[in-house]
Structure 1
């Protein structure tokens, strides 16, 4: 774009979930994606470091707030209570102001972790982790009804794991999903009176978990590139600044690392002794996983089961069937540490958990033992030591209730919380997974053509965007303003002069009953790890 000095006061964030810089770079060089190529040539672009761990649920709130998880309050898709009960994170858990709370009016579409849709000055349609399309799906509620009138078969997302062996069908359904999402984008773009527009496509992540074939992926990215072209036209007409970002990258996956198995071997974790019913069922080869597999082949997904069977019954049944789930199959009274949900490790501190068996004064010693145990395992096939353990006190210093430790794995490995017989297990049909390096592209009136952000992270997006539209940066921000991406003569290239304090999420203590019911059902049979 024209690099002359403008006072651009509108910013558009286009999120592409799971897009890796290395993959995009190759296709740009080959001229496969003309609209993204234009943005990179005329704007500033480079890799974007994700959160630790690099997951959707942590990264999008971090992008939206510019704050670490210990400040914004969301560590994953689910949190664990003192009684070891999982609960879904919702928008009510976010403790820091998001960009749409600071810049108004705002338009927000399909951003993960925004259900239930909280009232904002503008329009909001919630995204990933929305349990159903209801009156809490949008703000105002009539916006959701307008969307359904226009796109009667609108969907929140799809489960890639249900398409194993049906990859062609996944490609077709995913393409249709993108087009439905695009209709939402077009509906929201009918509004031009906004200062912030924040919209996310999660489809790349869904596809890449099951299919890691560049020829196949390129066809999907071409569809996304076409969307980017439509957004460019819209943004250019308004003389706004466009940010294209991904929450994390992606890459091939070879093995799961089962930390809980390591803990069991080291005497740090004990399995629950099977009941008489469990022993009998196990003898006949009956398990939760096998039941879910059989039902899946009959066209009944595990999610369908947990969304229709009463929650109390699910919990009773879940404890009777043998399995390898950390919720049902661990004896917490004899367990010092356990992995829960994407590499989060918890010391079973007696001051934190109802069946805790580690005294608070012994917590640091157990952490050191855990770190030595995990970092000492080696892959018997390669000899590699793929695990690094990060201390939660260092990563999340302001929250005493954060995860105690975080497992980081080398490329092609991923942490799993499942119990298993070996520390290294096959990922099954999951062919690829998250990497830390995503993308950032900035393009607009004050953005320097050919510029590159320096060591950019997801925490830098919010402060950079706010500074670029002439707004002060919240004092709670952990990121920095990427002044190097702006034209030297523009106001946006100046250092950050002020910071402000905003109120947090006033409704953080409240959660909708309907969502609580859904989250209980989703954990019923241990279907979610």
Structure 2
């Protein structure tokens, strides 16, 4: 399994069929393919976790980047880690597994195989591998290995970003081939984070296209090297698309009296330039002009325009993540929910007179399961072309960031027993885990929310002939305990004590 974080279905489909990505086109001609519906919201932490657990966020407990916890004195905000997952993952069922750079696997944990953590790993100095000793082996083989690239730190430094992006990706490919050739594995789950990073700031550019061609070349090497007994899945956690404007959620909440705006430190000159662009109708060109500005001015515009706010209602907390925003309530207040929904749905872009909010969900509309209590009470999704922030005017031009997440990622399957030129429909991100277990001939825990994508297999294949088997979720716990007992008895036999 190869994951390309942020790979967008429409983009990859169009580029593959236009000849820009010939190896993705090979997958279309020789395998099953289609859009893969992400989680709502389509954000990295819950999406990848749903893929590897087979469950919706309400059953695995990961909703965003940060946990918002209700306390007696207000709210506490903590970053999610792998320890917060409330579910087993694919590598808990399958032995000899290589898990590389999958987001939200830090800190690493014991598996039957090798794990190299990815997103939110503090540094190369941390313990980011299992087994721990593999860290030294990795750094000996690939001394300049790079775990992550934070696109938000490259305001006005796009050329430097591109250099670092390719360096990171080349090192990732070196690790792929080292593991592929030298380590025993039955399942290899390897994620490239680069597509997401470049698409946030260089969406629709020549640089983005060239980077995807580079990845397509790597894919071609994989297709040439795998044997006829190996199945290949290509997946992504969510799609991507262009953004042109931002919505300042802080101002909406301030209007309703839920927070208090302290104002912005934006300079009078910058404010005059932006207002002039708005009044003269040049706002739509401001993002393009922004790209031509000197680096220090770019940074000044972005850093100085943040809205300073304070919470004045202790019963309300919120977070903005661009592709979505979430509101947490200490108690379910129907009045607040109703007022907030009404205000959000009435928001219009003053330049187009179009509404800017696509949907406001209550948590019970999209999540279900044992972890529902910790979910945000409201999930807000902007319309395409907009992103949610906590700075700028109510509706403002997007300066540095010009791309954000969409609902549909990619799914490609290739190999013996897989249908050719078959376009799958209605595939969801939590269908991946049960499908993988079925391929390995393993029973599927009945607490998984996904289904086996049985339609991707040829009618006479072994995967179609054997029907998916479902078992109680305690099945694997008992199996694990039985194996521990067998190993303990074997040790006693060796010592002559049994």
Is the shorter-chain TM-score for this pair beyond 0.5, marking a shared fold? yes
Q: Shift of the alpha carbon at 1:128?
A: 0.8
Cα contact 1:255–1:427 (8 A) shared by 2: yes
Cα distance change of structure 1 residues 29 and 101 upon mapping to structure 2, 3 Å threshold: same
Cα contact 1:262–1:373 (8 A) shared by 2: yes
Local SS of the residue matching 2:2: strand
Of 454, 479, 482, the match for 2:425: 454
Cα distance change of structure 1 residues 407 and 284 upon mapping to structure 2, 3 Å threshold: closer
Structure 1: 5+ residue runs without aligned partners? 1-12, 286-295, 302-320, 350-359, 506-529
What is the CA RMSD across the aligned residues, in angstroms? 2.8
Partner of 2:329: 348
Q: Shift of the alpha carbon at 1:325?
A: 5.2
Whole-Å separation in 2 of the counterparts to 1:256 and 1:178: 30
Q: Shift of the alpha carbon at 1:461?
A: 1.0
Partner of 2:136: 145
Q: So what's the TM-score if we normalise by structure 2?
A: 0.82
1:372 aligns with 2:342: yes
Partner of 1:426: 397
Partner of 1:469: 440
Cα distance change of structure 1 residues 171 and 375 upon mapping to structure 2, 3 Å threshold: same
Whole-Å separation in 2 of the counterparts to 1:136 and 1:338: 32
Of 26, 30, 43, the match for 1:55: 43
Local SS of the residue matching 1:15: strand
Local SS of the residue matching 1:389: strand
Deviation readout 1:199-236 (Å, 9 max, x if unpaired): 00010111111112343222111211122123223432
Whole-Å separation in 2 of the counterparts to 1:108 and 1:72: 19
Cα contact 1:259–1:339 (8 A) shared by 2: no
Of 459, 464, 489, the match for 1:493: 464
Cα contact 1:18–1:250 (8 A) shared by 2: yes
Whole-Å separation in 2 of the counterparts to 1:336 and 1:437: 31
Q: Shift of the alpha carbon at 1:126?
A: 0.3
Looking at secondary structure, tell me which structure has more strand per residue. Answer: 2
Whole-Å separation in 2 of the counterparts to 1:203 and 1:363: 41
Cα distance change of structure 1 residues 242 and 86 upon mapping to structure 2, 3 Å threshold: same
Local SS of the residue matching 1:85: strand
Q: So what's the TM-score if we normalise by structure 1?
A: 0.77
Whole-Å separation in 1 of the counterparts to 2:234 and 2:474: 26
Across the two proteins, how many residue pairs are aligned to each other?
A: 440
Structure 2: 5+ residue runs without aligned partners? 270-294, 478-498
Cα contact 1:43–1:449 (8 A) shared by 2: yes
Local SS of the residue matching 1:32: coil
Partner of 1:408: 381
**Structure 1 segment 26-45 matched on structure 2, within 5 A:** 26-45=14-33
Cα contact 2:65–2:80 (8 A) shared by 1: yes
**Structure 1 segment 159-238 matched on structure 2, within 5 A:** 159-191=150-182, 193-236=184-227
1:324 aligns with 2:307: yes
Whole-Å separation in 2 of the counterparts to 1:478 and 1:472: 14
Local SS of the residue matching 1:219: helix
Cα contact 2:262–2:308 (8 A) shared by 1: no
Partner of 1:363: 333
Deviation readout 1:347-373 (Å, 9 max, x if unpaired): 432xxxxxxxxxx3x523322222111
| Poorly superposed stretches of 4+, deviation over 4 Å | 281-285, 502-505
Cα contact 2:230–2:415 (8 A) shared by 1: yes
